[in-house]
Structures are given as C-alpha cells and as structure tokens.
Amino acid sequence: MWHIAKRELYDNLNSLRFALAIVLLIGLMLTNAVVHLHEHPKRIQAYNDGVTEYQNHLMASADESLYRLAQKGPGDLYKKPSALRFCAEGSETDLPRQAIGGTFRWSTDRLESAWILAYPPVDTSLGNLRPDVTLVDWSFIIGYVLSLIALLFTFDSISGERERGTLRLILANAIPRHTVLIGKFLGALISLNIPFTLAILMNLLVISTSSDVHLNAEAWGRLGIIFCIALLYTCLFLALGLLVSARVQRSAVSLVILLLVWVSLVVFMPGTLAAIAGDSASPKATHGFYERSWQLHNELRDQYGSRWRQARGDSRKRIEVDGAYVSKDAEQQEQLQEARLKQQISQVNRARATTRLSPVTIFQHLFESFAGTGFERHLQFLENVKVYAREYREFVVDTDKADIESLHIIGVREGMSEKPVSPEAVPTFEDTLNFSKDFNTAAIDLLLLALFFLLLLSGAYLAFVRVEV
C-alpha cells in the first residue's frame, strides 16, 4: 500500500498540476495574510473606539443620576472581532457590529421614553456601491480552490491508468484492490497536502510574526481543529474524484463529470438552496414595522389617558401611572423588536439548515464556528447582549431598592432614588466567545461531513471492486 502511495506521490510531484497548485495556493494564502494584517488592526481600533464611547456614555449617565441610567440605557454594545477572521470571513460585513441599548424615542414635557434593546441592520451596506466579492479567507481558498485542485489530482487516478493500461499491471500483482484504492487515495492526499500545508505555514508565519495580531494558545488550538476540518473536507473531494474515476472509462469524461458536479455542489447549491428556503417564509408581519410601533405607542397613550385624568391633583398617584406607562411602553416596544428579530433569525436559520445539503456549506459553517465569526457567532453575541441587559436592569432596580427614600417607580424622575451612583458599580458589557457552545453546534456539522466522506469512499471502493480491467 505504501509502495503504491509512494509511487503515486512521485508521479504527482513531477506534474504540472503540482507546480500550478503550489503557486496558486501560496499566492492566495500570502494575499490572505497580508490583507488580514492590514484590516485587523483597523477592526480592533473600531471596536476599541466603540467600547470607549460606550463606557463614556455609561459613566456620564451614572454621574448624573440613577434615573438617567434607567432612562438612557447602557448605549451601543459592540461585538468583539475575532482574531481568526482570516480563516472565515463569515459574511461579517453583512452582519451588524453592534446592538443598541437605548435610543431616544419620544419625550413629553414631563416624561421620557425608557431604553429598550434594538437591533439595527448593518449600516454600511445600503450605500455601498463597491463590487460584491467573496473575500479571500481560508474558507474560500479551501472550500473553492483546494476542492477544485483535489478533483484535478484524482480525476485520472484510475481511469488514466486504465487508459494507459498500467492498471492491469498493478492488479496483476497479488495486491487486494482495496489496498490499491487506499494507496492511491493516500498518495493523492499527501501530494495535495504538501502545497497546502506549505501555504498554510507561510500564511501563519506572516501573521504570527506581525506585532499587530496576537494569537493566544486557544487561537492556536482552534487553528489546529480548523486544519483537521480542512483535511477532512479535501478527503471528501478526493474520494469523489476516485469514485467518478473508477466508474468512468475515460479520464476526459471523468473530468467533465467532476467539474460539473463541483460547479453545482460548490458554486450553485448554497445560493440556490438558500434562496429557495428563504423564499418560503413571507416576512409579512415585519412589514410596516415603524407604523406598527407608533400604532402601539399611540394606543397605549390613549389607554392611559383616562387614568391620568383620574390621577389629576394627586401627585403620588400620577407618578405611579407615569411609571406604569413608561415601563409598559418600553416593554411593548422591546417585544416588537424581539419579535421582528426572531422572525428574521428563523428565516435565516431555515435557509442555513437547507444549505447543509452542500458539503461546502457544512464546511463553511464549521470554519465559522471555530473561527468565531459568522451568523452563529452573531447569535451568541445577541445572547450576550440580552444577558447583559437583564443584569443592567436588575442593577437599576436593586440600587433603587437600597434607597428607602425612593418611591421605587422605575422610569420616572420623581419616583426614583436621587442618591449618587458610583460609576464602578454599574455592570459593564464585555462580549465573550464561548468555545463549548461552538463545539455543540459544530459537532453535527462535523458528523455530516464525515458521513459524506465515508459514503463517497465506500462508493469509490464498490466502484473500483467491480471495475473490469
């Protein structure tokens, strides 16, 4: 078996495709590293600026009063950029960078709206006239380019031998067919991995020698996992190449079939499936969102009109009605925001689940979850934001409770504690990446990918066993 693998390896090393693959992969990986070194400090800078702004906002509110904290909210909460974004861009440019904890909605001469969590759409994409391209990240290089190269390495491995008549010679020896197949597979895997590993090492060398990007031990661990996933993914395409090559008589036909399969599987299936799945959900309820929001607000105001009239003259009662009104309004509006977000997310999740039929999407999801980018990561960020919002609200209520002079009516200036708040006590938001959760979502993807691979490899074995020489 090793003999066959070695022979296969020597064959490949001298070929044109090996040289071209080396040049292409190294070029791409170096571009990736250079671009990352250029872009990443900017992203970190933008994040740090955002966090500073958020902290200043929080401190300013805390200095003023507890009421200000309860009314204005924590401010914009930023998503921490991942240091491994060069592995998978994960369409981060189409995902929002922050969630908003409190914007001005309305005010009257007496009352101001209480803060709510809002989820702004990404702000830069609408006016962006630049051409839309896939960014050159690892997931593109491996998902598209390396998979194509894997097919180019295997399309003639069996049919080519048969054409030249050398297959008969090999099988004339006392070697079982599966050994031949595995040998060929290993040979192709090793010869493909030489340029690939070389390119990845160069990429990492460039990235790690730079002072701008710091990769900690956990990041290196993640990179290791990512490399293994990449190996599994290339194995998948090598097995596909062997399968078709064993079934088909001529290598030219084998290549045509493989290329067309590749094009449909890798290039078209993700987009088409997403469009089909995304289409089935009609987002009617989100239509006229702002109108619905105003309608709710106005209805509530009318509803409270009579209660205000009843409370006229009684200042204590008026404050109570005011407090109930402000918190009810905030609750309603936040529910509306949540409902819209939930609907949008479920549409995306449906589309993402459907695209799993294509191995390249599974692979991209895996990359994203280990690189800490993409949609799953965004959901995690939103979860963090919600946890923080709860904490923040609890803080306001608890601080207010600690003051016995206060009327404990949150959201109204006269109803809340007027004692100074120490800025250090206010909980601050820090976005974190949770690895174990990553792994849970990734496990199914990993399993699917492995299943695809085993299916194709056994298919190749069955096809090869039945080959007549």
Range 209-268, binding other proteins (CB under 8 A): 251-253, 255-257, 259-260, 263-264, 267-268
270 binds other proteins (CB under 8 A): yes
Q: How many residues contact other proteins, by CB under 8 A?
A: 76
CB atoms within 10 A of CB 69: 26
What CA–CA distance (Å, rounded) separates 155 from 147?
Answer: 12
Which residues inside 132-161 make contact with other proteins, applying CB under 8 A? 132-136, 140, 144-145, 148-149, 152, 156
Which residues inside 358-387 make contact with other proteins, applying CB under 8 A? 374-375
130 binds other proteins (CB under 8 A): yes
Which residues inside 84-113 make contact with other proteins, applying CB under 8 A? 91, 94-95
Evaluate whether 12 touches 160 at the Cβ level (below 8 Å).
no
Which residues inside 177-206 make contact with other proteins, applying CB under 8 A? none
Interface region with other proteins, contact rule CB under 8 A, candidates 214-222, 224-232, 278-286, 382-390: 278-286
**Least distance from other proteins to the Cβ atom of residue 160, Å:** 8
Bridge partners of 117, per DSSP, are: 101
Could you write out the DSSP letters of every residue in 281-333?
Answer: S--GGGTTHHHHHHHHHHHHHHHHHHHHHHTTT-HHHHHHHHHHHHHHHHHHH
**Least distance from other proteins to the Cβ atom of residue 83, Å:** 17
- Looking only at the bridges linking them, the beta strands covering 75-78 and 117-118 are unpaired
Which of residues 360 and 460 has its CB atom nearest to other proteins in the complex?
Answer: 360
The binder of other proteins chosen from 22, 122, 182, 190 (CB under 8 A): 122
Beta-carbon contacts of 291 under 8 Å, excluding residues fewer than 6 positions away, are none
Beta-carbon contacts of 113 under 8 Å, excluding residues fewer than 6 positions away, are 71, 104, 105, 106, 107, 326, 329, 330
Which of residues 39 and 403 has its CB atom nearest to other proteins in the complex?
Answer: 39
Which of residues 59 and 339 has its CB atom nearest to other proteins in the complex?
Answer: 339
**Least distance from other proteins to the Cβ atom of residue 175, Å:** 26
Evaluate whether 458 touches 182 at the Cβ level (below 8 Å).
no
Interface region with other proteins, contact rule CB under 8 A, candidates 127-135, 210-218, 405-413, 448-456: 127-135
The binder of other proteins chosen from 5, 9, 26, 28 (CB under 8 A): 28
Which of residues 16 and 172 has its CB atom nearest to other proteins in the complex?
Answer: 16
The token duo for 461 is 């074995």
Which residues inside 281-310 make contact with other proteins, applying CB under 8 A? 282-284, 286-291
> Which of 345, 380, 330 has the alpha carbon at shortest distance from 101?
330
Interface region with other proteins, contact rule CB under 8 A, candidates 126-134, 393-401, 413-421, 431-439: 126-134
47 binds other proteins (CB under 8 A): no
The binder of other proteins chosen from 60, 228, 276, 454 (CB under 8 A): 276
**Least distance from other proteins to the Cβ atom of residue 72, Å:** 18
Which of residues 16 and 174 has its CB atom nearest to other proteins in the complex?
Answer: 16
Which of residues 302 and 405 has its CB atom nearest to other proteins in the complex?
Answer: 302
Q: What share of the chain is helix, strand, coil (3-state, %, to 5)?
A: 70, 5, 25
**Least distance from other proteins to the Cβ atom of residue 95, Å:** 7
Which of residues 83 and 274 has its CB atom nearest to other proteins in the complex?
Answer: 274
What CA–CA distance (Å, rounded) separates 202 from 220?
Answer: 15
**Least distance from other proteins to the Cβ atom of residue 393, Å:** 26
The token duo for 2 is 């090793």
What CA–CA distance (Å, rounded) separates 305 from 301?
Answer: 6
CB atoms within 10 A of CB 235: 22
What CA–CA distance (Å, rounded) separates 428 from 448?
Answer: 40
Largest separation between any pair of C-alpha atoms in the chain: 106
What CA–CA distance (Å, rounded) separates 273 from 275?
Answer: 5
Bridge partners of 118, per DSSP, are: 100
**Least distance from other proteins to the Cβ atom of residue 451, Å:** 24
Evaluate whether 322 touches 110 at the Cβ level (below 8 Å).
yes
353 binds other proteins (CB under 8 A): no
Interface region with other proteins, contact rule CB under 8 A, candidates 25-33, 175-183, 190-198, 426-434: 25-33
